[in-house]
């Protein structure tokens, strides 16, 4: 994104053109930014450790067009559900290019996960006997909860440690792999996902050490050659202006150094090193183009936009900060105001007090930053406000990659039983039919 003569451009497409062509609110992704993010990170990690690969956690932005960009760059897919395995299949990916990291799986999940032939990453040793009832995975890993997690989105997305629902307790990891080996499984990896949005490289060293001390002992004692060790996602991006970016080279160097040290300490055959980020690839490449529709002066001035809590859930869910630009007004003096969406909930009042351009007016176009990860993917319908469109930009080209929902989305899968179609309750058969009427007259 850039601002030129006050106009906001997403790659080389003016935000105004997006608003006029596709309406608002619309999610917009910069193809070149996604590629740059991926390449920067891959370069850093491959330089530090040669046998390195990224999977993309498709949950963050599951539009196939976006996922194809990352596939073209060489990413595999981290799938959280069977449907995400099917999305990967749409990309032409399966087998060892996909890892199934679901949690609290149903029997159906397990059966379909096995049938798909992707790498199975179990969140709990108790799942193993259930999996074996349906078949034997070719390639298995366990998601380890190394006892520590961290996040810059508060406790909301701390995915490991004693308070998290994820992963295998460190004390259970040895027995988990022992049982898998005894069951005849021959190919193994190991995995963790302790936190999200971390910009401190030291954190990545710390968690790598934790995991390697758990997995190293397993490898040594059970004579397991781990083919990969996956450190999860968590590479952070700055959301607030002025916040530092993650030094990706430092993170890669620190991770590789401790990884190699632990490989030597536990005498492991060097595994492939893997990570499966999402936010780092797509977060700052995504924007929401919205519009100001109404301005209220009451206890305070409130700017009413169509970027609703159901368009972007993160502020209402996590108190997350997303920077807002106003097209054509960025160099105006600022005045603290509130900003909200159009939903009948006060959590939709997602900016309480922020200096925005003083002249902001009805009809203005706003651009919300850092919306590429967990943006559209977490949007929902509410108040009859429907899911937005998604557009990809590449230089001065723009492509509609998901249509805006229309009214049919509210009625498409809904069935109204025949008796409710009559003009009034009395005109139909009462509940319980004749029987209940009889009972009433007795
Ligand atoms: N791997 C697994 C198993 C995950 O569960 C996740 C994200 C990732 C990788 C990718 O993590 P990342 O690199 O993006 O940090 N909705 C929250 C974030 C939830 C993270 C869920 N898991 C948010 O909007 O901040």
For residue 167, the domain's CATH number is 3.20.20.10
Q: Is 250 inside a domain boundary?
A: yes
Element (H, E) at 191: strand 187-191
Residue 316 Cβ inside 6 Å of ligand 1? The answer reads no
- Alpha-carbon distance of 224 to 278, in angstroms, equals 29
pLDDT score at 158 = 84
pLDDT score at 428 = 54
Residue 149 Cβ inside 6 Å of ligand 1? The answer reads no
Q: Is 190 inside a domain boundary?
A: yes
Are 269 and 291 within one domain? no
pLDDT score at 438 = 46
Asked if 277 and 54 count as a contact pair (C-beta separation under 8 A), the reply is yes
CA of 195 to the centre of ligand 1 (A): 8
Ramachandran category for residue 85: left, alpha or beta (phi over 0 → left; psi -120 to 50 → alpha): alpha
CA of 20 to the centre of ligand 1 (A): 33
Residue 322 Cβ inside 6 Å of ligand 1? The answer reads no
Q: Which residues of the chain have pLDDT under 50?
A: 436-442
CA of 377 to the centre of ligand 1 (A): 12
Are 114 and 197 within one domain? yes
pLDDT score at 152 = 87
Q: Is 402 inside a domain boundary?
A: yes
Q: Is 384 inside a domain boundary?
A: yes
Domain hosting 228: range is 31-279
Give phi and psi for 293, each to the nearest 5. -110, -30
pLDDT score at 434 = 54
Are 62 and 152 within one domain? yes
pLDDT score at 430 = 61
Are 73 and 216 within one domain? yes
pLDDT score at 155 = 80
Residue 276 Cβ inside 6 Å of ligand 1? The answer reads yes
Are 246 and 102 within one domain? yes
61 included as an active-site residue: no
Q: Is 153 inside a domain boundary?
A: yes
pLDDT score at 441 = 41
Question: What CATH number should be reported for the domain holding residue 382?
Answer: 2.40.37.10
pLDDT score at 433 = 56
Are 303 and 247 within one domain? no
Q: Which of 437, 288, 421, 406 is nearest to 350 (CA)?
A: 288
Q: Is 422 inside a domain boundary?
A: no
Q: Determine which one of 61, 197, 340, 344 is catalytic.
A: 344
Give phi and psi for 413, each to the nearest 5. -105, 15
Residue 373 Cβ inside 6 Å of ligand 1? The answer reads yes
Q: Is 303 inside a domain boundary?
A: yes
Residue 230 Cβ inside 6 Å of ligand 1? The answer reads no
Mutate to test the pocket of ligand 1, among 41, 154, 278, 309 (most ligand atoms within 8 A of CB): 278
pLDDT score at 436 = 47
pLDDT score at 157 = 82
- CB-based burial of residue 401 (10 Å sphere; 0-12 exposed, 13-18 middle, 19+ buried)? middle
User: How many domains in the chain?
Assistant: 2
Mutate to test the pocket of ligand 1, among 58, 60, 151 (most ligand atoms within 8 A of CB): 60
């Amino acid at each position: 994104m850039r601002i030129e003569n006050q106009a906001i451009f997403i790659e080389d497409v003016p935000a105004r053109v997006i608003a006029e062509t596709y309406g608002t609110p619309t999610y917009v992704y910069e193809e070149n930014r996604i590629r740059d993010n991926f390449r920067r990170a891959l370069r850093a990690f491959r330089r530090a450790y040669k046998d390195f690969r990224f999977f993309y956690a498709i949950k963050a932005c599951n539009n196939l067009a976006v996922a194809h960009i990352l596939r073209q760059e060489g990413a595999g897919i981290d799938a959280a559900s069977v449907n995400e395995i099917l999305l990967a299949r749409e990309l032409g990916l399966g087998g060892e290019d996909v890892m199934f990291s679901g949690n609290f799986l149903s029997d159906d999940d397990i059966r379909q996960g096995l049938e798909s032939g992707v790498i199975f990453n179990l969140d709990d040793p108790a799942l193993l006997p259930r999996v074996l009832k349906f078949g034997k995975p070719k390639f298995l890993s366990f998601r380890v909860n190394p006892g520590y997690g961290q996040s810059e989105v508060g406790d909301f997305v701390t995915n490991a440690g004693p308070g998290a629902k994820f992963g295998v307790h460190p004390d259970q990891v040895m027995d988990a792999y022992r049982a898998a080996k005894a069951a005849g499984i021959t190919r193994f990896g190991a995995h963790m996902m302790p936190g999200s949005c971390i910009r401190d490289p030291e954190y990545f060293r710390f968690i790598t050490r934790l995991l390697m001390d758990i997995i190293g002992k397993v490898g040594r004692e059970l004579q397991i050659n781990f083919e990969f060790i996956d450190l999860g996602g968590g590479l952070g991006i700055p959301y607030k202006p002025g916040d530092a970016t993650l030094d990706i080279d430092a993170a890669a160097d620190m991770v590789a150094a401790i990884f190699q040290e632990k490989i030597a300490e536990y005498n492991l055959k060097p595994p492939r090193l893997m990570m499966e980020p999402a936010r780092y690839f797509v977060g700052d490449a995504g924007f929401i183009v919205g519009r100001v529709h109404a301005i209220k002066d009451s206890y305070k001035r409130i700017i009413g936009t169509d970027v609703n809590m159901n368009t972007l859930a993160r502020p209402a869910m996590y108190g997350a900060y997303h920077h807002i630009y106003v097209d054509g007004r960025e160099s105006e003096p600022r005045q603290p105001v509130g900003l909200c969406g159009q939903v009948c909930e006060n959590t939709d009042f997602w900016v309480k007090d922020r200096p925005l351009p003083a002249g902001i007016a009805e009809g203005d176009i706003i651009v919300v930053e850092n919306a590429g990860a967990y943006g559209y993917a977490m949007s929902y319908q509410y108040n009859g406000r429907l899911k937005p469109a998604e557009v990809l930009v590449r230089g001065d080209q723009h492509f509609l990659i998901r249509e805006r929902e229309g009214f049919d989305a509210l009625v498409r899968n809904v069935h109204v039983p025949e008796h409710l179609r009559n003009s009034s309750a009395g005109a139909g058969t009462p509940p319980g039919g004749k029987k209940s009427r009889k009972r009433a007259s007795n």
